[in-house]
Amino acid sequence: MSESVESIDLSKTSTGLLLALFAEKDSLAWGEFDRRFRPVLVGLGSRLGLGPEDAADAAQETLLQFYRDYLQNKFSRDKGKLRNWLLRISRNRILDMIRVRKRLPGETPFHSVEPILDNSEALDVLWEREFQQAILRESLNRLFSKSRISRNNLDIFRLCMQEKKSADQIAFDLNLTPEAVYRAKHRCTQKLKEIMREVEQSYEL
């Protein structure tokens, strides 16, 4: 039995999100899509050397074109993944931006950007890196805000991973044994891996 749009957890189900996007008035679905992919698009522009405003503008133009094209049923699973289609749209919008800027007096050409846009393998690598960063950010957010890991263990994990403190230093600061620190880190690491597998599926569109 197929899932109804109303019963779908959009934050977890990639297929459900694709179905819900067809409901033009479903602002929840489009909001989730925007939340999931806008940071990836902005990050790609930044990795290509665009400034913050240009990266944000390119992401906005990409999402607007995607919105129009998707509702016109221009995407087909037979042609590949939606995320790859989104990359092609982003590439073309960034190229359009460069062409416009080249015609403006006093504008500096994007010499470092154009070679990468013409190299599909290099562009794919940057795109995948940005997706992995997005998956990690979302997974860490879920670990700290939604998991049932104890606050003490999460604090230890944060000190290990984000503040780069050693187990001995954490043990000394918190009056614990190094073994207790290692156990807490292990629990959080295993839970993070579990969450990342789930989040990664939500990006497989």
Residue 138 is predicted with a pLDDT of 92
Query: What is the pTM (predicted TM-score) of this model?
Result: 0.79
Token pair for 41: 């698009």
From residue 125, alpha-carbon distances to 94, 116, 122, 130 in Å are: 17, 10, 5, 9
- Return the residue matching tokens 């795109």: 127
Question: Do the beta carbons of residue 133 and residue 139 sit within 8 Å?
Answer: no
Judged by DSSP in three states, 11 sits in coil
Amino acid letter, 102: K
Residue 1 is predicted with a pLDDT of 36
Residue 160 is predicted with a pLDDT of 93
Domain ranges of the chain: 5-146, 149-205
Phi and psi at residue 51, to the nearest 5°: -70, 170
Instruction: Give the H/E segment covering residue 40.
Output: helix 27-47
Question: Do the beta carbons of residue 195 and residue 142 sit within 8 Å?
Answer: yes
Q: Which CATH architecture has domain 149-205?
A: Orthogonal Bundle (1.10)
Instruction: Give every residue of the chain whose pLDDT is below 70, as ranges.
Output: 1-15, 23-26, 106-111, 205
Kindly tell me the sign of the dihedral angle through the C-alpha atoms of 166, 168, 171, 172.
Answer: negative
Residue 6 is predicted with a pLDDT of 43
- Return the residue matching tokens 């470092």: 112
**Chain segment 160-181, per-residue pLDDT in tens:** 998 999 999 999 999 999 999 9
